[in-house]
């Protein structure tokens, strides 16, 4: 019920807009031959996460957005990142995490066995991390 209420109350479309540079960087990363794919994980309701991505212009398969409703817990719960890897049927060591909080995006991903974690500060830093990963 909490996620449903938050989904109705939050209006990310008022705060996010199409971002051509972000979309281009994600597409270049997604199609890079050394990577399996991209998914998105949030502590917000999955619906809100999808709406944010849609507002930004980021195309993502519905089964690639993870949050408390489909994972059963929130970051930094130690089950969060392993649940994502299990859902995608990939080995933890094939995964990386890119996020803005060491405590919720970095440390638990590394503890779960992810290959690495990048902590970024804002949009430009995120795009730079994506570019660095494919060069």
**E strand intervals along 63-126:** 65-66, 96-99, 116-119
> How many helical (H) and strand (E) elements, i.e. helices and strands, does the chain have?
7, 4
Across the range 35-54, mean pLDDT stands at 91
Sign of the C-alpha dihedral computed for residues 27, 118, 75 and 1 taken in this order: negative
CA distance 64 to 45: 14
Higher pLDDT, 37 or 124: 124
DSSP 8-state symbol, 79: T
Q: Is residue 7 over pLDDT 80?
A: no
Residue 107: which pLDDT band, with cuts at 50, 70 and 90?
very high
The chain-wide mean pLDDT, for the chain, equals 92
Residue whose pair of structure tokens reads 């817990």 in the numeric block? 73
pLDDT of residue 54: 94
As given in the structure block, the two tokens for residue 23 are 């979309």
Residue whose pair of structure tokens reads 């059963």 in the numeric block? 72
Across the range 73-88, mean pLDDT stands at 96
């Amino acid at each position: 019920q909490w996620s449903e209420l938050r989904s109705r109350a939050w209006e990310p479309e008022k705060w996010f807009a199409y971002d051509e540079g972000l979309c281009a960087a994600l597409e270049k990363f997604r199609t890079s031959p050394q990577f399996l794919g991209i998914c998105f994980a949030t502590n917000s309701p999955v619906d809100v996460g999808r709406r944010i991505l849609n507002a930004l212009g980021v195309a993502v398969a519905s089964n690639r957005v993870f949050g408390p409703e489909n994972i059963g817990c929130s970051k930094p719960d130690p089950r969060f990142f392993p649940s994502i890897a299990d859902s995608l049927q990939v080995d933890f060591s094939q995964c990386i995490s890119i996020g803005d909080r060491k405590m919720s995006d970095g440390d638990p991903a590394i503890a779960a066995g992810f290959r690495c974690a990048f902590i970024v500060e804002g949009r430009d830093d995120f795009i730079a991390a994506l570019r660095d990963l494919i060069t």
